[in-house]
Amino acid sequence: MGSFGSVYIGLLDQTQSIVAIKILDLTHHGASKSFIAECGALRRIRHRNLVKVLTACSGFDFNGNDFKALVYEFMPKGSLEEWLHPIASQYTERSKLSLLERVNIAIDVACALDYLHHHCETPIVHCDIKPSNVLLDDEMTGHAGDFGLARFLPEAMHKLLADPSSSVGIKGSFGYVAPEYGVGSTVSTQGDVYSFGVLILEMFTGKRPTDDMFENGLDLHRFVKAALADRVEKAIDPILLQEIEESEKRRIVAPEGKNKSWCSIKECMVSMIELGAACSSKSPKERMDVGDAVAKLQGIRKKLLEFIVIA
């Protein structure tokens, strides 16, 4: 179940291809506009880190009611949400996301946003970046999906101005929406960067931005900023800390080498959290451009690969 309908798994008879079919609930306010926005976005884009649309359907169902659906390439590994926060039945089906996998997925999402913001004929703002909208293929490659809230930025004014003709209302998901949207600011690429920053922090702390611990002025951004100033281990997902400890046990090196590798991996995690904090700054002007974030992330991965043990 999603914001504007349900997603089903299906099989195409002719090719025997497994697909994902998003059927819109047209009784939901804004569903038709969401369908139009998503079709408009998908018609214009093609990138390896965006969920591929196969076709769109618009007609009538068996009862004569309006019927609209989008057919996507199926992502067999599910969503990032399911890996970060598995329900009880998924613990036996999924292994834990490794540090390197998280860095790779972060790069995938950043590359998708960089393409949307800077390399489309008409720049696009996704407007709803969150773990449930990041889907994973067999190779654990991340794909940004669900363009139901996408906005198109006019070519001549694509830095901060949105095209009113494509408006479907300022929406998004609580905890991931840029704070300036709440006071009426125009949709911008920096709003996506904020959501991406929150996503990064969630991936490396294991905490949702809506966690019960965040109250009385404390939020995920402030939580990690305080940890960076004190002891960053307090903020890092315990699953990642356990992975590093197990990795060090398998590494046959002198004590000083072991200590060096731990420090280097820790530095990479600190860099990831610092990047997430920089992208989720309250002020849009203080946020990193997503193109710069891609370059920074690729540098972190390169450094990480020099030290991490891949099981």
Active site residues: 128
Query: Residue 236: left if φ>0, alpha if ψ -120 to 50, beta else—which one?
Result: beta
Transcribe the chain into DSSP letters.
Answer: --SSEEEEEEEETTTTEEEEEEEE-TTSTTHHHHHHHHHHHHHH---TTBPPEEEEEEEE-TTS-EEEEEEEE--TT-BHHHHHS--GGGTTT-PPPPHHHHHHHHHHHHHHHHHHHHTSSS-EE----SGGGEEE-TT--EEE---TT-EE--GGGTTT---GGG---S---TTTS-GGGGGTPPP-HHHHHHHHHHHHHHHHH---TT-TT--TT--HHHHHHHHHHS-GGGTS-HHHHHHHHHHHHH----HHHHHHHHHHHHHHHHHHHHHHHHHT-SSGGGSPPHHHHHHHHHHHHHHHHTTPPP-
Show the CA angle centred on residue 150, arms to residues 24 and 87, nearest 5°. 60
By the 8 A CB rule, do 277 and 202 touch? no
CA distance 225 to 206: 15
By the 8 A CB rule, do 105 and 136 touch? yes
| Token pair recorded at residue 109 | 């999402």
- Find tokens 């926005």 and name the residue: 37
